[in-house]
A = this chain, B = another copy of it.
């Protein structure tokens, strides 16, 4: 590498913007994934897109100016729920009604004079993992986000699979049990209805209603309607049979689904991301086993099952920032 390349490499930065219903986080990030500074906006204090985008642009400029020269900025990546890469807009996000359909990407570019990429959170996480995380050097992988819901991003030959309307990668809504559990999407039997954090809590609640576990589980001491995936995890770690069974079943359904996903895009790895991955081997062990047991024999070299390597509290901002490198 020549000196010029080193200078050019070390002098470039991106801005990541993670829009949540409550808070918007803005971060300045370098090429190695170090976050130089973050600032926050209270998303829920806004009711109009115009003032929000104006304030967002002001914060972006402030963060940049406090650290580096504006010419060193390569792009801004914005991650938001229901954001569409092709339209540059957020569509039908129930907790951001005043942003729905607003040309967020174009407006932010206009006010900041910096190239902007907008994408949904799962795609942002996927690009974050590819640039800064567990998928560095990989050209073919699938990321599955396991949070309240289940999302995903698919990378094929180094490129994110977008599809005709940038709506590809809805693997949380692949139907894994036809006619099964009701899903938030209105259909039945989706993967999300079995392996999200809310699904894990629901499975525990269902078991607690059966006589077998009613009084024997540590979880029966808690108010059933308030149970969370974290409670189930903690009980399982203390050896609770119900808690272990819930994770065993969620992992098995996830692993079966992942084996099917491999037949789709022959990935080098599947990366699990998000809150539920804190369950660690409690979730990973049954998932790995079910994936291996159900894999078509031609994938005999197997597929790595990995956990996101991005620090939990930085993952969203690194994902958003990573897209900034692709902004044009």
Instruction: Report chain B residues within 8 Å CB of A161.
Output: 156-157, 161, 264-265
Q: Mark A246-280, 1 if CB is under 8 A from B, else 0.
A: 00000000001001110111111000000000000
Q: Is A299 an interface residue (CB 8 A)?
A: yes
Q: Mark A273-308, 1 if CB is under 8 A from B, else 0.
A: 000000000000000000000101111010000000
Question: By the criterion CB–CB under 8 Å, are A175 and B265 in contact?
Answer: no
* Interface assignment of A42: CB less than 8 Å from any CB of chain B: no
A256 to B140, CA, bound (A): 26
Task: Tell yes or no: A154 within 8 A of B by CB.
Answer: yes
A167 touches B294 (CB 8 A): no
CB-CB under 8 A from A263, the residues of chain B are 169-171, 173-174
Q: Are A264 and B294 in contact (CB under 8 A)?
A: no
Closest chain B residue to A159, Cβ basis = B157
Of the candidates B185, B265, B296, which one forms a contact with A297 in the assembled complex, judged by CB atoms under 8 Å apart? B185
CB of B156 within 8 A of CB of A140, answer no
Known: A266-B168, A301-B165. A296 touches B185 (CB 8 A): yes
Residues in A lying within 8 Å of B, measured CB to CB: 139-140, 154, 156-157, 159, 161-171, 173-175, 178, 185-187, 256, 259-261, 263-268, 294, 296-299, 301
CB pair A174 B264 closer than 8 Å: yes
Which residue in chain B gives the minimum CB-CB distance to A174?
A: B260
* B157 and A140 contacting across the interface, CB-CB below 8 Å: no
How long is the Cα–Cα vector from A149 to B298 in the complex, in angstroms?
16
A304 to chain B, nearest CB (A): 10
Copies of this protein in the complex:
2
Tell me whether B163 and A267 are in contact (CB under 8 A).
yes
Residues of B within 8 A of A173 (CB): 263, 296
Q: Is B170 in contact with A296, judged by CB distance below 8 angstroms?
A: yes
Residues of B within 8 A of A265 (CB): 154, 161, 163, 168-169, 264
Give which listed residue, B156, B268, B298, contacts A156 with CB less than 8 A: B156
In angstroms, how far is the closest chain B Cβ from the Cβ of A137? 12
> In the complex, A162 Cα to B296 Cα: how many Å?
16
The residue of chain B having its C-beta at the shortest distance from the C-beta of A268 within the complex is B164
Give the distance in Å from the alpha carbon of A165 to the alpha carbon of B262 in the complex: 11
24 CB contacts below 8 A, A to B, read A139-B164, A156-B161, A156-B163, A156-B168, A157-B162, A161-B161, A161-B264, A162-B266, A163-B267, A164-B268, A165-B299, A168-B264, A170-B263, A170-B266, A171-B264, A174-B264, A175-B256, A175-B294, A185-B296, A185-B297, A186-B297, A187-B296, A264-B264, A264-B265
Which B residues touch A170, using CB under 8 A?
A: 263-264, 266, 296, 298
Once A169-B264, A297-B186 are accepted as A-B contacts, the answer to whether A259 and B159 lie under 8 Å apart by CB is no
Query: Residue of B at shortest CB range from A165?
Result: B266
Question: Do B259 and A294 have beta carbons less than 8 Å apart?
Answer: no
Minimum Cβ distance to chain B for residue A20 (Å): 20
| Cα-based distance from A167 to B165 in the complex (angstroms) | 26
